[in-house]
């Protein structure tokens, strides 16, 4: 505890780091404040009853869980009909689209290799594409609100303007697009002027904002009539901490591939024989190289099976795909995650380029010939470690459904036991701590994450 307090003092004593943290917190507060501003045409008091009404309708428990899942990424702004209802997700979607298009479009491939100027052009393309995605998602969101969640026939008092008029749609679409662009701007400012990872931090804050309310709701349910009592709350908290620990292990687990670098002088035999082995380093191949992207891809497709219920609404098997806690939904979800894990890892880790770079720089893997054999070796190792990583990732994704059926009583709290929410929180927190640690190491302080180097290096 004493070391932790000293670390906080070290952080506060660095003016540059202190200013970055204060700016980051200020922009996060602006983002959270904006998420409570409702669309001008909608009565906020009525919108507050949306989820309760939705759950009280026959067969709408599935939709409520789905709405809660969508709302968690925007910190509740989605369910409050806020001006920030679309949040930062359109920017994430645009970034994914640009990344995938980069594999097929030569112009984007060229930009990816052009250094800083190419990255700036790609960022500008992503921004414009974000607006295009917003123009598609904003009408879809308004349609879901006006026809599905708050139908005008039953909730006329929830609207100041008739939702069927152009005076409702045009200003609302413009405001939703502006809100999403504003969130994108806040994220980029945190990245440039704050502690970094701005977009990820906004997503994490939106997820964490719902955690206290979800826990209070679960506590009230467990300690109330029909619950299992306070002891079950303790069991849930301990199990949640265990899941977080496992998520951290999954995020940082790597397979180290030993690399030897031999200089040209060593290759000619012009140096002492003891130096012939060269400098040994490692290639760290992550067990979960794809991160949370397979879950995001899979969730994007999981809305499609739910549409099949319109073909035959009496089919109970198809109806299960609308419920995020059903076995039908989660079995298909897990299979898609495993498939996308291999797909995304294959397109983001260029083993052929890695092998060429090693050969060009005089690096080699012991007992493996440079060139094609090195690429095949790396690809084989990557395939072997991706399978267990994909399986563990799919288990994390379906864990909310498992705990919800076992001991967790409420939908909202169950969503924090796995899936995208937990992995995003863990990943962003680890990256943020690492960045703060880097600042501290640059100023000769021991960081938040003690490493062997920081413990043994003594800078005068």
Task: Give the pLDDT confidence of 153-188 residue by residue, as tens digits.
Answer: 777 777 888 888 899 899 999 999 999 999 999 999
Q: Are 209 and 82 in contact (CB under 8 A)?
A: no
Q: What is the pTM of this model?
A: 0.76
Q: What is the pLDDT of residue 186?
A: 92
Q: Are 84 and 180 in contact (CB under 8 A)?
A: yes
CA atoms of 115 and 92, how far apart (whole Å): 22
Residue 448 has pLDDT above 70, yes or no: no
Q: What is the pLDDT of residue 183?
A: 92
Does 209 or 178 have the greater pLDDT score? 178
The pLDDT tens digits of the residues spanning 125-140 come to 999 999 999 999 899 8
Residue 29 has pLDDT above 90, yes or no: yes
CA atoms of 192 and 155, how far apart (whole Å): 44
What confidence tier does 45 reach under pLDDT thresholds 50, 70, 90? low
Identify the weakest region by mean pLDDT among 71-80, 143-152, 354-363, 451-460. Answer: 451-460
Q: Are 412 and 400 in contact (CB under 8 A)?
A: no
CA atoms of 377 and 369, how far apart (whole Å): 10
Q: Are 195 and 393 in contact (CB under 8 A)?
A: no
Q: Are 338 and 389 in contact (CB under 8 A)?
A: no
Average pLDDT of span 145-159: 75
Residue 201 has pLDDT above 80, yes or no: yes
Strand partners, 257: 283
> 279-286 and 363-364 as β-strands: parallel, antiparallel, unpaired?
unpaired
């Amino acid at each position: 505890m004493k070391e932790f307090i000293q670390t906080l003092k070290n952080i506060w004593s660095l003016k540059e780091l202190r200013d970055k943290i204060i700016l980051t917190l200020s922009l996060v507060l602006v983002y959270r404040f904006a998420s409570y501003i409702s669309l001008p045409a909608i009565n906020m008091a009525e919108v507050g009853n949306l989820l309760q009404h939705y759950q009280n309708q026959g067969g709408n428990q599935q939709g409520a869980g789905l709405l809660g899942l969508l709302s968690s990424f925007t910190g509740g702004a989605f369910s409050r009909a806020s001006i920030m209802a679309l949040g930062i997700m359109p920017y994430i979607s645009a970034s994914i689209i640009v990344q995938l298009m980069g594999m097929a479009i030569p112009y984007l491939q060229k930009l990816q290799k052009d250094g800083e100027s190419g990255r700036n052009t790609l960022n500008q393309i992503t921004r414009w594409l974000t607006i295009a995605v917003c123009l598609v998602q904003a009408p879809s969101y308004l349609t879901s609100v006006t026809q599905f969640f708050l139908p005008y026939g039953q909730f006329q008092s929830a609207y100041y303007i008739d939702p069927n008029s152009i005076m409702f749609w045009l200003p609302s679409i413009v405001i939703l697009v502006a809100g999403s662009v504003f969130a994108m701007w806040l994220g980029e400012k945190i990245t440039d002027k704050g502690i970094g990872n701005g977009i990820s931090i906004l997503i994490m804050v939106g997820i964490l904002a719902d955690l206290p309310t979800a826990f209070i709701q679960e506590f009230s349910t467990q300690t109330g009539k029909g619950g299992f009592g306070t002891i079950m709350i303790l069991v849930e908290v301990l199990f949640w901490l265990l899941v977080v620990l496992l998520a951290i292990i999954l995020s940082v687990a790597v397979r180290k591939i030993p690399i030897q670098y031999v200089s040209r002088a060593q290759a000619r035999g012009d140096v002492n024989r003891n130096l012939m082995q060269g400098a040994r380093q490692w290639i760290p191949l992550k067990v979960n190289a794809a991160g949370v992207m397979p879950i995001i891809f899979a969730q994007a497709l999981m809305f499609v099976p739910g549409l099949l219920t319109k073909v035959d609404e009496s089919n109970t098997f198809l109806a299960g795909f609308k419920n995020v806690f059903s076995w039908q939904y989660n079995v298909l979800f897990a299979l898609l995650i495993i498939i996308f894990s291999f797909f995304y890892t294959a397109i983001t880790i260029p083993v052929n380029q890695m092998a060429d770079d090693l050969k060009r720089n005089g690096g080699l893997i012991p007992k493996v010939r440079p060139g094609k054999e090195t690429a095949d070796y790396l690809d084989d190792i990557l395939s072997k470690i991706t399978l267990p990583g994909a399986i563990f990732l799919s288990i994390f994704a379906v864990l909310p459904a498992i705990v919800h059926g076992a001991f967790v009583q409420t939908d909202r709290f169950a969503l924090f036991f796995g899936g995208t929410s937990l992995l995003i929180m863990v990943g962003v927190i680890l990256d943020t701590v690492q960045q703060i640690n880097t600042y501290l190491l640059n100023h000769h302080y021991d960081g938040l994450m003690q490493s062997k180097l920081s413990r043994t290096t003594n800078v005068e």
